[in-house]
Structure 1
Amino acid sequence: MRLLILGGSGFVGRAVADEAVRRGYDVTVFNRGQRVAPSGVRVLIGDRMGDLSALGTGAWDAVVDTWSAQGEAVRRTAELLSTRAGHYAYVSSRSVYSGEQHEKAEAAPLVDDGDEGYAGDKLRGEQGAAAFDGSVLLARAGLILGPYEDIGRLPWWLNRLARGGPTLAPGPRNSPLQYIDARDLANFLLDTATRRVDGPFDLVSRSGHTTMGELLEIAAEVTGGRAELRWTEPATIEAAGIEPWTQLPVWLPPGDLHEFLHGGDVSKAYGEGLVCRPVRETVEDTWAWLRSLPGDAPQRADRPRVGLDPAVEAKVLGE
Structure 2
Amino acid sequence: MKLLIIGGGVFLGRAIAAEALRRGHEVTTFNRGRSGEDLPGVAAVRGDREVSADLDRLVDGEWWDAVIDVCGFTPRVVLDSVRRLSGHVGHYTFISSISAYADFGEKPGIDESFARFECPPDADADYGDYGVLKAGCERAVEEHFDGPVLVIQPGLILGPHENVGRLPWWLTRIARGGRAPAPGSRVVAPGDPERPIQLIDARDIAAFTLDKVAESTTGRFLTGGVPGRETYGSWLRECVEVTGSDAELVWIDDAFLIDHGVGQWTELPLWSTSDDVWATSSAKALAAGLTCRPMSQTVRDTWEWLKDIPEERRSFGVRNLRHGIDPDKEAHVLAEWSASAHE
- The residue that corresponds to 1:316 in the other structure is 333
Superposed CA deviations along residues 84-138 of structure 1, whole A, max 9, x for unmatched, are 2221111101111111655351111222217511112211110111221222111
Unaligned residue ranges in structure 1 (runs of 5+): none
Asked if 2 retains the 8 angstrom alpha-carbon contact of 1:101 and 1:108, the reply is: no
Structure 1 window deviating more from structure 2 (124-133 vs 295-304): it is 295-304
Which residue of the partner structure matches residue 73 of structure 2? 69
In structure 1, what is the equivalent of residue 44 of structure 2? 43
Larger deviation, residues 65-74 vs 304-313: 65-74
Partner residue, 1:10: 10
Match of 1:120 among 112, 125, 132: 132
Task: Give yes or no for contact 2:224–2:281 (8 Å, CA) kept in 1.
Answer: no
Q: Mapping of 1:199-214 within 5 angstroms? A: 199-214=219-234
Q: Which residue of 1 aligns with 2:181?
A: none
Structure 2 counterpart of 1:311, which letter? D
TM-score (norm 1): 0.94
How many angstroms does 1:301 deviate by? 4.7
Deviation at 1:284, TM superposition (A): 0.8
1:276 to partner: Cα distance = 0.6
The structure with the larger Rg is 2
Match of 1:306 in 2: 323
Does the Cα contact within 8 Å between 1:5 and 1:28 map onto a contact in 2?
yes
Q: Does 1:78 align with 2:82?
A: yes
Partners in 1 of 2:187 and 2:3 — Cα distance? 44
Distance 1:106 1:225 in 2: 41
Q: Report the secondary structure of 2:29's partner residue.
A: strand
Deviation (angstroms), 1:292: 3.0
Change (3 A) 1:300 1:166: closer
How far has the Cα of 1:176 moved from its partner? 0.8
Matched residue, 1:217: 237
Find the counterpart in structure 1 of residue 208 from structure 2: 188
Give the aligned residue type for 1:9: G
Deviations 1:152-198 (A, max 9, x none): 10000000000110001112111111121111110111000011111
Deviation at 1:75, TM superposition (A): 1.4
1:92 is matched with 96
Partner of 1:135: 148
- Look up the match of 1:25: 25
- Runs of 4 or more, structure 1, over 6 Å off, are none
Gaps of 5+ in 2: 121-126, 178-184, 339-343
Output the TM-score relative to the length of structure 2: 0.88
SS in 1 for 2:76: helix
Aligned partner letter, 1:161: I
More displaced stretch, 35-44 vs 286-295:
286-295
Q: How many pairs does the alignment contain?
A: 315
How far off is 1:315 after superposition?
1.3
Q: What's the counterpart of residue 270 of structure 1?
A: 286
Distance 2:14 2:110 in 1: 32
Higher mean C-alpha deviation, range 61-70 or range 266-275: 61-70
SS in 2 for 1:292: coil
What are the superposed Cα offsets for residues 60-94 of structure 1, whole Å, 9 maximum, x if unpaired? Answer: 11111011421222212222222222211111011
Q: Could you say which residue in structure 1 is the equivalent of 2:304?
A: 288
The question of whether the paired residues in 1 share the 8 Å contact of 2:186 and 2:249 is answered with yes
Partner amino acid, structure 2, of 1:250:
L
| Matches of 1:219 and 1:36, distance apart in 2 | 27
Contact 1:101/1:109 (CA < 8 Å) preserved in 2? no
Judged with a 3 Å threshold, the aligned counterparts in structure 2 of structure 1 residues 314 and 218 are, in CA distance, closer, same or farther, namely: same
Query: Secondary structure of the equivalent of 1:107?
Result: coil
The 1:120–1:21 alpha-carbon spacing in structure 2 relative to 1, beyond 3 Å, is: same
2:182 paired residue number = none
- Partner Cα separation in structure 2 for residue 73 and residue 25 of structure 1: 27
Which amino acid in the other structure matches residue 22 of structure 1?
A: R
Q: Secondary structure at the match of 1:49?
A: coil
User: Which is worse superposed, 97-106 or 64-73?
Assistant: 97-106
Q: Distance in 2 between matches of 1:209 and 1:146?
A: 17
State the SS of the aligned residue for 1:128.
helix
1:144 counterpart residue number: 157
